[in-house]
Amino acid sequence: MLTHFLRLALLTLSLLLPAQFAQAQPTDIPARIAAMGEANLRELTSIVTDLAATGDPAVVPVLTALGGGNLYLDETSGRIVIQGRSAITDPLTGEEVDLGAGADLSRIRVNNSLRRDIASALAGMTLMSDNPATRFSAAQGFLAKPDPINIPLLDEAIAAETDSNVLRLMQAARAVTILSDSEAGIEDRRAAVPGVVAGAGRNAITILTGALANAPDELRPTIEAALAGLEQSRAVWSALQNVWFGVSLGSVLLLAAIGLAITFGVMGVINMAHGEMVMLGAYTTFLVQLVIRQSFPGLLDYSLLIALPVAFLVTGAIGVGIERGIIRWLYGRPLETLLATWGLSLILQQTVRSIFGPTNQMVIAPTWMSGSTDFFGLAITYNRFWIVIFALIVFFMLLLILNRTPLGLQMRAVTQNRRMASSMGIRTPFVDAMTFGLGSGIAGLAGVALTQIDNISPNLGQNYIIDSFMVVVFGGVGNLWGTFVGALTLGIANKFLEPYAGAVLGKILILVLIILFIQRRPRGLFALKGRAVEQ
Amino acid sequence: MNFSRTKSALLAAALAGGIALPIVPVLAQDDTIKVGILHSLSGTMAISETTLKDTMLFLIEQQNAKGGVLGKQLEPVVVDIASDWPLAAELARQLIEVDGVDAVFGCWTSVCRKSVLPVFEELNSLLFYPVQYEGEESQRNVFYTGASPNQQAIPAVDYLMNEEGVERWVLAGTDYVYPQTTNKILEQYLLDKGVASDDIMINYTPFGHSDWQTIVSDIKTFGSAGKKTAVVSTINGDANVPFYRELGNQGVMAEDIPVVAFSVGEEELSGFDTTPLVGHLAAWNYFMSVDTPENEAFIADWQSFIGSEDRVTNDPMEAHMIGFNLWVKAVEAAGSTDADAVIDSIVGLETPNLTGGTATMLPNHHITKPVLIGEIQDDGQFFVVWETEDLVPGDAWSDFLPESAMLEADWTAPINCGNYNTETQTCGGTAQ
């Protein structure tokens, strides 16, 4: 155990400037920590260096807290404390601290370069931690800052490692270290190249390109060959990545358009206030989360799931209200409907702006929707992934409702032949209201999903209304599958144009293509056939 | 594909009659000095500009409590330009001709400023413009109290180059005049500094862009060339939130690829969970977190005026405060609110800013400012990691663009010109 500590101490020393050797000998850790409170950035950097140089595992919590922004100074008592999730603790003993009523906590702030220093200092001290996640980030630290002096420690860690992910990263870190060590033998360095390729994942290209710059001539062909291989597979993966981006954009379009496919596609109402239903869904999510945060903080991770039915009911009810109040007087008068719903959209926008203010509102992303995962060579972000899944669920649910429920049957009957349906005893006004409410409710669901990728502002709906109409018209009015295919086609086409044409030109090109397409096929991709169309 | 603009133009046309009316009732008193406030209170820009309207009301109330100006009370006249630029020009004309205001504080976007410029020139009135902008302009009737590129963009790039060792640059911006001009200046500056053109990537996106997947993944790829990479963002308005969210989700950390933004301040971050953004940077001339007695007092007064402890302060608010105080001083020095008298007396006047320095009105109608670089914290505030030692004088015409390097603006006798050519010693046509 003692030798281990000695090695740690040596290691951390070597990570730092040689000049620190002299200062590191007397280790008055509490005094250094106390000095953090009043230190400026430069002084803080030297305190961190000194603390790391002690090699004492006791400083790990302090450094972790400092790097994570959880280290505070109590202005009243001058004490340095760690603000944990539930309690305030002492940085060295880890015991809970009661600061009393007069406490005035102010955070000890760090910048990027200090954060990097802390990470590399911590890497040395935590490589043997019991927690795999900690070991993983320690190995990442070594990967980011390779130093030949770490090889023995890495070897020891690799021998003891049981977690395969951490092991791979440690081996990569070791390979990178050997590769970048100009003292190591050429053969050793050459042998390290495959290790880098295998273990470093997305960083492999960065690391190899960096190594290439300083490599001796004998080593160059090996690195260049490895790079060429990586570039080739990256080209394949980036095409697949584009498809994924396209699917993801398509799913957002689908969500935004699918409610409109009901109100505009099935009912034939040009509903300019559709975007505002999306926006109201987003604000409902915000309110639901606000209530949950204040009253049931434990449910915060599920707030989006709770918001789904609430948003559906709220926007659905508003939709029914709009249909009963405004739209039913305007059936068969598309221009008036357009103007009335457009006016309504402005009223709704300004109402929300007056109530909530013009600034964006915040919906916190649940932990299961943050971050990303590497799926082979694809980087898939969780929020987009769940939105794709959600869009598919909503789409198929809607399909089920339209094709397998009595309400769906009545809706289709009313839209195909209103008078016939009426004479068969269907309450057409009721069905109209329900259909419009369903379309609006689905727009509200889209709003819940959009809180995860867009601003929650009164203008939220405006950004989606045109895209939604585009999708519905392109896919074929009155056909849900048309909307589905249309959304995905537009999403993928957009994402394939974007890298070449840029975001601005890409969107213009898509518009031009749609105009040309509509010229050729005025009824969209999947045109409805039969007598219903001729009405 | 900005349909919202078409839509808001139609909206403006439809509602012009309704919203063009001053919101604050005109008191029809002769013993007041009228001050016009020309900001968007609805539409896409309302998010940023509503606060500036409140700031002006706050400043005017404070000044009135101190006894007004020249013994008269100030009277604010508020109009809503509804994020519609032709309407802005109309309302500017209305403020000056119908309401008879003596000075106007307003506009946020460069488009707004460009569209009201001719009105102020024609009617010889005063506009105080509080937002950082692209430069390449100096007009006799306009006072630019926000930063010009040499007071924001250039120092930020210097910081990244010298302190973070950045060698590869992504210049990402929204597709309109401010980012385009700023990026043109920055690109030339980087090339002059010896950065290879392969190491610069320029990317433009539409207003309100929300799908950043491809661009963020491109930035990641661009950053994997073995050189330290940074993003210089002139992305404006609403598009920032999804941009930063995508950065966070795709795991682009500030330690690896820092993003320095010129349009993201405390107000923009207040609608946002900033945990994934910690360490990304912004360059401004003021941060709410700056620890000076002046700033503390300003924040306390502002929050009690607006009635909320949660409201933040930001850079354009400070710019409005400086502009307003300079105007008050100039009016008092000239003894009149007449535009010509104020233009003559305001140059050289000084007023304390909120960061412990002094703002001086320069002959080119720009002011001196400190430049601060801040890192975003998880409470939505900025932590100042670097600042210029001295105040930086605003430069109207960039020295880094060949076509404007020889131009100077000087609105004092004998030059009295907004684009004076120092080589030919002539005023380059009509001042613009």
Q: Dump pLDDT digits (tens) for B12-45.
A: 444 443 444 444 444 445 689 999 999 998 777 7
* pLDDT of B9 higher than 50: no
How far is it, in rounded angstroms, from Cα A198 to Cα A212?
Answer: 17
Length of chain A: 535
CB contact under 8 A, A499 and B213: no
Residue-number span of the structural domain to which B58 is assigned: 3-148+296-369
**Tens of pLDDT, residues B250-299:** 888 888 899 999 988 888 887 677 887 888 999 999 999 998 999 999 99
Q: Are residues B118 and B203 in the same domain?
A: no
DSSP class per residue in A27-93: --HHHHHHHGGG--HHHHHHHHHHHHHH--GGGHHHHHHHHHT-EEEETTT--EEEE-SS-EE-TTT
User: Which of residues A126, A148, A175 is at a domain's end?
Assistant: A126
Q: Are residues B183 and B281 in the same domain?
A: yes
* Domains in chain B, number: 2
pLDDT at res. B56: 96
pLDDT at res. B392: 93
Q: Are residues A115 and A139 in the same domain?
A: no
CB contact under 8 A, A495 and B213: yes
Q: Are residues B197 and B123 in the same domain?
A: no
pLDDT at res. B13: 44
Q: What is the rounded average pLDDT for all residues in chain A? A: 83
Confidence at A289, pLDDT banded by 50, 70, 90: very high
Give the closest-approach CA distance of B54 to chain A in angstroms: 13
CB contact under 8 A, B50 and A358: yes
Decide: B311 and B286 in contact? Cβ < 8 Å: no
The phi, psi pair for A337, rounded to 5°, reads -60, -45
How far is it, in rounded angstroms, from Cα A15 to Cα A177?
Answer: 13
Does a structural domain hold residue B417? no
CATH number at residue B268: 3.40.50.2300
Of residues B118, B149, B117, B120, the one with CA closest to residue B133:
B149
Q: Are residues A156 and A101 in the same domain?
A: no
Does a structural domain hold residue A405? yes
Give the closest-approach CA distance of A182 to chain B in angstroms: 17
* pLDDT of A12 higher than 60: no
Q: Which amino acid is at B305?
A: F
CB contact under 8 A, A248 and B209: no
Q: Residue B198, Cβ neighbours under 10 Å: how many? A: 8
What residues have CB less than 8 Å from B267, skipping those under 6 apart? Answer: A359, B47, B48, B51, B312, B314
Q: Are residues A132 and A94 in the same domain?
A: no
**Which residues of chain B does A273 touch, with a Cβ-Cβ cutoff of 8 Å?**
none
Q: Percent of chain A at pLDDT above 90?
A: 28
A151-157 long-range contacts, Cβ below 8 Å, gap at least 24? A151/A177, A151/A178, A152/A7, A153/A7, A153/A8, A153/A11, A153/A124, A153/A127, A154/A127, A157/A127, A157/A128
Does a structural domain hold residue A228? no
Q: Are residues B84 and B197 in the same domain?
A: no
Of residues A480, A341, A318, A481, the one with CA closest to residue A415:
A480
In this structure, the strands spanning B382-387 and B372-376 are antiparallel
**Tens of pLDDT, residues A231-269:** 888 888 888 888 999 999 999 999 999 999 888 877 888
How far is it, in rounded angstroms, from Cα B355 to Cα B369?
Answer: 9
Angle at the Cα of A475 (from A472 to A476), degrees rounded to 5?
85
In this structure, the strands spanning B281-284 and B372-376 are antiparallel
Q: Are residues B246 and B104 in the same domain?
A: no
Does a structural domain hold residue A232? no
How far is it, in rounded angstroms, from Cα A290 to Cα A297?
Answer: 10
Q: Are residues A144 and A70 in the same domain?
A: no
* pLDDT of B180 higher than 50: yes
User: Which of residues A126, A145, A173 is at a domain's end?
Assistant: A126
Decide: A339 and A329 in contact? Cβ < 8 Å: no
Q: Are residues B135 and B26 in the same domain?
A: yes
Q: Are residues A183 and A44 in the same domain?
A: no
Which stretches does DSSP call E strand in B229-317?
A: 229-234, 259-261, 281-284
Q: Are residues A498 and A476 in the same domain?
A: yes
Does a structural domain hold residue A241? yes
Q: Are residues B304 and B207 in the same domain?
A: no
Of residues B351, B350, B365, the one with CA closest to residue B431:
B365
User: Which of B162, B199, B214 is the best mutation test for A, with the most CBs of A within 10 A?
Assistant: B214
pLDDT at res. B26: 46
Residue indicated by tokens 């006047």? B349
How far is it, in rounded angstroms, from Cα A417 to Cα A430?
Answer: 15
Of residues B85, B106, B112, B93, the one with CA closest to residue B9:
B85
Confidence at B2, pLDDT banded by 50, 70, 90: very low
Q: Are residues A104 and A154 in the same domain?
A: no
Does a structural domain hold residue B279? yes
Judged by a CB distance cut-off of 8 A, whether residue B180 touches chain A is: no
**Tens of pLDDT, residues A147-196:** 777 787 888 888 888 888 788 888 888 887 887 777 777 777 777 777 77
Does a structural domain hold residue A223? no
Tokens of A182: 């100009």
CB contact under 8 A, B238 and A453: no
How far is it, in rounded angstroms, from Cα A418 to Cα A430?
Answer: 12
Does a structural domain hold residue B407? no
Decide: B278 and B376 in contact? Cβ < 8 Å: yes
User: Which of B8, B41, B211 is the best mutation test for A, with the most CBs of A within 10 A?
Assistant: B211
Quote the pTM value.
0.80
The per-type count for chain B, helices as H runs and strands as E runs, is: 12, 19
Q: Give the range among B9-23, B173-187, B215-229 with minimum mean pLDDT.
A: B9-23
In this structure, the strands spanning B417-421 and B426-427 are antiparallel
**Which residues of chain A does B242 touch, with a Cβ-Cβ cutoff of 8 Å?**
453-455
Confidence at B340, pLDDT banded by 50, 70, 90: very high
Q: Pick the most confident of A169-173, A213-217, A480-484.
A: A480-484
Residue indicated by tokens 């500590």? A5
Of B47, B50, B221, the CB nearest to A360: B47
Of B226, B271, B378, the CB nearest to A362: B271
Taken in order A514, A518, A519, A521, the sign of the CA dihedral is positive
Q: Are residues B168 and B61 in the same domain?
A: no
Confidence at A16, pLDDT banded by 50, 70, 90: very low
Question: What is the helix (H) or strand (E) element at residue B33, kind and residue range?
Answer: strand B32-39
**Shortest CA distance from B222: residue in chain A:** A206
**Shortest CA distance from A380: residue in chain B:** B250
**Which residues of chain A does B272 touch, with a Cβ-Cβ cutoff of 8 Å?**
360, 362
**Which residues of chain B does A248 touch, with a Cβ-Cβ cutoff of 8 Å?**
211, 213
b/e per residue, B10-27, with b = 16+ CB within 10 A?
A: ebbeebbeebbebeeeee
pLDDT at res. A267: 82
Tokens of B397: 């015409």
* pLDDT of B151 higher than 90: yes
Chain B residues 261-320 with a CB less than 8 Å from chain A: 267-268, 270-273, 276, 278-279
Of residues B252, B385, B279, the one with CA closest to residue A116:
B279
User: Which of residues A190, A218, A246 is at a domain's end?
Assistant: A218
Does a structural domain hold residue A59? yes
**Shortest CA distance from B238: residue in chain A:** A455
Q: Which amino acid is at A226?
A: A
Question: What is the helix (H) or strand (E) element at residue A334, kind and residue range?
Answer: helix A334-356
Cis peptide bond prior to B414, omega within 30° of 0: yes
Taken in order A241, A243, A246, A252, the sign of the CA dihedral is negative
Of A111, A360, A463, the CB nearest to B241: A360
Give the closest-approach CA distance of B131 to chain A in angstroms: 18
* Domains in chain A, number: 3
Of B42, B211, B258, the CB nearest to A112: B258
**Shortest CA distance from B202: residue in chain A:** A502
pLDDT at res. A491: 93
Give the closest-approach CA distance of B396 to chain A in angstroms: 29
Does a structural domain hold residue A112? yes
**Which residues of chain A does B173 touch, with a Cβ-Cβ cutoff of 8 Å?**
none
- Strand order from edge to edge, sheet including A105-107: A88-89, A80-83, A71-74, A105-107
In this prediction, residues A385-392 reach a mean pLDDT of 95
Does a structural domain hold residue A488? yes
* pLDDT of B142 higher than 60: yes
Of residues A161, A173, A241, A239, the one with CA closest to residue A201:
A173
Of residues B344, B432, B337, the one with CA closest to residue B102:
B337
Tokens of A176: 């990178």
Q: Are residues A95 and A137 in the same domain?
A: no
Q: Are residues A209 and A285 in the same domain?
A: no
Confidence at A27, pLDDT banded by 50, 70, 90: low
CATH number at residue A250: 1.10.3470
**Which residues of chain A does B269 touch, with a Cβ-Cβ cutoff of 8 Å?**
none
Does a structural domain hold residue B130? yes
CB contact under 8 A, B383 and A111: yes
In this prediction, residues A56-72 reach a mean pLDDT of 82
Decide: A502 and B203 in contact? Cβ < 8 Å: yes
In this structure, the strands spanning A71-74 and B259-261 are unpaired
pLDDT at res. A6: 52
Q: What is the rounded average pLDDT for all residues in chain B? A: 87
Q: Are residues A374 and A263 in the same domain?
A: yes
Q: Are residues B116 and B70 in the same domain?
A: yes
How far is it, in rounded angstroms, from Cα A397 to Cα A255?
Answer: 12
Does a structural domain hold residue B405? no
Tokens of B2: 């900005």
Q: Are residues B54 and B142 in the same domain?
A: yes
Q: Are residues A455 and A525 in the same domain?
A: yes
CB contact under 8 A, A238 and B221: yes
Does a structural domain hold residue B431? no
In this prediction, residues A69-96 reach a mean pLDDT of 81
**pLDDT higher at B108 or B271:** B108
The residues pairing with B420 across neighbouring beta strands, listed in sequence order, are B408, B427
Give Cα separations from A226 to A190, A200, A535 (angstroms). 11, 13, 65
Q: Are residues B95 and B157 in the same domain?
A: no
b/e per residue, A228-264, with b = 16+ CB within 10 A?
A: eebeeebeebbeebbebbbbbbbbbbbbbbbbbbbbb
How far is it, in rounded angstroms, from Cα A140 to Cα A371?
Answer: 17
Give Cα separations from A106 to A70, A75, A245, B379 (angstroms). 10, 7, 42, 12
**Tens of pLDDT, residues A410-464:** 988 888 788 888 999 999 899 999 999 999 999 999 999 999 888 888 888 888 8
Crossing angle of helices A41-54 and A2-15, in 10° steps, is 150
Does a structural domain hold residue B324? yes
User: Which of A504, A511, A512 is the best mutation test for B, with the most CBs of B within 10 A?
Assistant: A504
In this prediction, residues B94-102 reach a mean pLDDT of 94
CB contact under 8 A, B3 and A453: no
pLDDT at res. B159: 92
Q: Are residues A99 and A166 in the same domain?
A: no
The residues pairing with B72 across neighbouring beta strands, listed in sequence order, are B69
Of B7, B251, B375, the CB nearest to A112: B375
**Tens of pLDDT, residues A185-194:** 777 777 777 7
CB contact under 8 A, B206 and A503: yes
Confidence at A350, pLDDT banded by 50, 70, 90: confident
Q: Are residues B263 and B383 in the same domain?
A: yes
Q: Percent of chain B at pLDDT above 70?
A: 92
What residues have CB less than 8 Å from B121, skipping those under 6 apart? Answer: B139, B140, B141
Residue-number span of the structural domain to which A155 is assigned: 127-218
